[in-house]
Structure 1
Amino acid sequence: MNINLKEQKIKNIIESQVANLPTRYGNFDIKAYKDGCQEHLAIMSKNFKNIKVPLVRIHSECLTGDTIGSLKCDCNNQLALALELISKEGGLIIYHRQEGRNIGLVNKVNAYNLQDKGFNTIEANLKLGFEADERDYTAIGFILKDLNLKKIKLITNNPKKIEFVKSCGIEIDTRVPALTKTNKHNKNYLQTKKEHLGHIL
C-alpha cells in the first residue's frame, strides 16, 4: 500500500457538488471526486457534519462483490455493514474506486481464473506481474482533508488503513471491526488476508 500523498496529484482532483441519495439503508448525502480517470464517492449520513467523532469506512471498489454479490470475498457484506452503521450512528463511507486492489477488472477476472486453479489471491496478483496490493491512497487523503476530519472511529480490519489514516494526521478514537459471516467460497481468501496481509480477523 502506498501511504505517501502525492501533492501534484492532489491538486488535480476535481470535486462535485453535494447531492441527496435516498437508499434502502437510509438517506445520505453524496459527493464525488475525480482523480485522473478514477472517480471516488463520499457517502455521508445527514448528520455527518455535526458528529465530533464520526464512523468512517474506506471501502475499496469490488464490482463482483458489491454489485453482483460474489461469495468469493466479503466486500458486499462489509459495505452493507458500514452503510447500516453510519445510517444509525452517523458517519462516512469513502468508496475508493480502485477495482481489484487497483489492478482493474480484466486483471481481477484473470486473477480469479488463477484462483480457480489453486493460487491464493496474493499469488494470483504476483503471477500476473502485480504487487499483492497496488492501491494508491492519494485521493483518500484529499477527501479526508476536504471533509475536515480530525478524529474518527475507523471501520476496518486492515492495519495498513489504520497506518494511512494516522499518516494524514487524523486521530483514531476506536477501530470498529468489519467482521461478517464467512462461507465456503471466501474462507481461504479471508485466511490469506489474515496470514499474509495482517488483517485483524
Structure 2
Amino acid sequence: MTKYLILFLTIIFTSCKGQTQKTNEKEEVKDPIAIIQENEKKATEKRSENIGELISIISFKVKTDNKKDYEDGFIPWASIENAKQDLPNLYEGDEIVIKENSVKVIIDYPLTNQYEFTITSNDGFSRKQLLSEINLHYFKLYEEEEKSATVKTIPIDKRTTMYNRNQTNGKYGIWGHDIADLVLSAIEVYKTSTGQIILILGIES
C-alpha cells in the first residue's frame, strides 16, 4: 500500500511541476504589442467623474511657420520632451489660467502606477508655468522608473519586434512610450468637495 501511495504522489508532483513550467512559458511569450494595446484601451476608459467637479479645460497649442501641415499656424499640442523650445511660441503662454495658489497634478500616462505632485504659486498659474512643471516631473519620473526597474528600457536601436518602448517594472511601470513620444494637448481642471484643485493631463502620443 505504501509503495502505491509513493508512486501516486510522485505522479501528482511531476504533473504539477510540468503544469507550472507551461504557465511560466506562456507568461514569458506574451505578445508585447498586445500588452500595449490593452494598456491603451485601459487608458482611454479611465473616468474622472469621481475626482470632483470639472471647472475648466486648458488647451495647449504652439505657433509654427509650418502651414502646410497646420493651416491655422498652430500645432495643437506642446512637446513634453522639448517643452523649453515650445515655451516661447506657446499660445497665450503667460495668461493666468488657474487663479488658485495650489494645485495637485496627476500623471497617469503611460504609467501603470500614477505619479502625483503639488505645486504652489502666489499669483496663480500660467500655461508656461504648468508646461514647465509637467516637463520637469516627467523627466523625473522616467529617471526614477529606470533606476528602480530590473527590466530595463530597450534602447531604440536595439528594438527588433516593435518600435515602442517595452514595459518596465519600476516604481511606475511605464509602458509603450518614450518621453519623446508624449505631447500635452489639454489639462482638465477639477475641484473636489473640499476645494482642492486637481489637474488631469491630456497626454497624447
Indicate whether the TM-score tops 0.5.
no
TM-score by length of 2: 0.27
